[in-house]
Amino acid sequence: MKAVILAAGRGTRMRDLTKELPKPMLKVRGKPILEHIIEGLKPAGILEFCIITGFRADIVEGYFGSGSNLGVSIQYVRQIVQDGTGKAPELAKEFAGNDPFLLTYGDILVDPGTYRQMIDRYRSSDFDGVIAVTRGEDVSKGGLNFFDADFCLKRVVEKPSPEQVRQYQKEGLIRANEPVWYNAGIYIFKPLLFQFTSKLEKSSRGEYELTDAVNQIVEAGFKLAGLKIADRWVDVRDPDVLAALEAESEL
């Protein structure tokens, strides 16, 4: 299996830390976030990478080069216009070819075993992809995922409004004392993803949203299996998270 890493954004919530440096290149315990991701994917047997670069692409490409120093092969495609996560994967269409691929955001850190678990889940049945999720509490934040009895995706809702939350509670989709599942920003897709990203329209935020494509895949009758992340999951979203990671005894 191959991997596609989305690393085109600047990461404005990092403020001055990303004034001249793309967020995936910020260091955690002496290594860029991207390097931790690549090294975590290798034990899962993933050695071919396509990194989607954008802001200060030269820094990413100059640091990793061909990937030979890490024992992997890396290709790069530049996203000239950062107009959302929905269109970015399309830049890796040629790289993916006819093969399934793991897609991850370039600022998500997980235990390396999570990647192996995702691949095992994908291969356990005739699935068209996998979506990793993590437990949440505040249903108004992040992408909220609903699953069927087999833990296959029914739909994703981005930051639901209070009215939507009340409706989901009435429908029994959100229940007291039961976890809600946030989108963890790591997926496995068959190349059929590109059939849906190519038809995306901009959301109310003025961006192409990957989750819109995910919903359309499910609505078309394809099966996306869920994978509950049992170990650590970190969205390196702001300076406080970065500082907390640096303070830990081990990553």
Tens of pLDDT along 12-48?
778 877 878 899 999 998 999 999 999 999 999 999 9
Distance, in Å, from the CA atom of 211 to the CA atom of 203, rounded to the nearest integer, reads: 10
H runs (alpha helix) in 98-202: 113-123, 162-171, 193-197
Tell me which amino acid residue 233 is.
W
Spatial CB neighbours of 68, under 8 Å, sequence gap ≥ 6: none
Tens of pLDDT along 125-168?
999 999 999 998 666 666 789 999 999 999 998 878 888 888 88
> Residue 153's pLDDT is what?
97
Tell me which amino acid residue 40 is.
G
> Residue 250's pLDDT is what?
65
Distance, in Å, from the CA atom of 236 to the CA atom of 233, rounded to the nearest integer, reads: 10
> Residue 248's pLDDT is what?
79
Average pLDDT over residues 82-91: 90
Looking at per-residue confidence, does 74 or 202 come out higher? 74
> Residue 206's pLDDT is what?
85
Distance, in Å, from the CA atom of 207 to the CA atom of 184, rounded to the nearest integer, reads: 19
List of domains in the chain: 2-247 (3.90.550.10)
Q: What is the mean pLDDT of the chain?
A: 92
Residue 189 has pLDDT above 60, yes or no: yes
Distance, in Å, from the CA atom of 226 to the CA atom of 151, rounded to the nearest integer, reads: 5
Q: How far is CA 205 from CA 64, 87, 103, 116, 143, in A?
A: 33, 14, 22, 34, 14
> Residue 139's pLDDT is what?
63
> Residue 176's pLDDT is what?
81
Distance, in Å, from the CA atom of 112 to the CA atom of 232, rounded to the nearest integer, reads: 10
> Residue 35's pLDDT is what?
98
> Residue 249's pLDDT is what?
56
Q: Is the pTM of this model over 0.85?
A: yes
In the DSSP assignment, the letter for residue 16 is G
Cβ-defined contacts of 212-219 (< 8 Å, 24+): 212/86, 213/86, 214/131, 214/153, 214/156, 214/187, 215/155, 215/156, 217/128, 217/129, 217/192, 217/193, 218/153, 218/154, 218/155
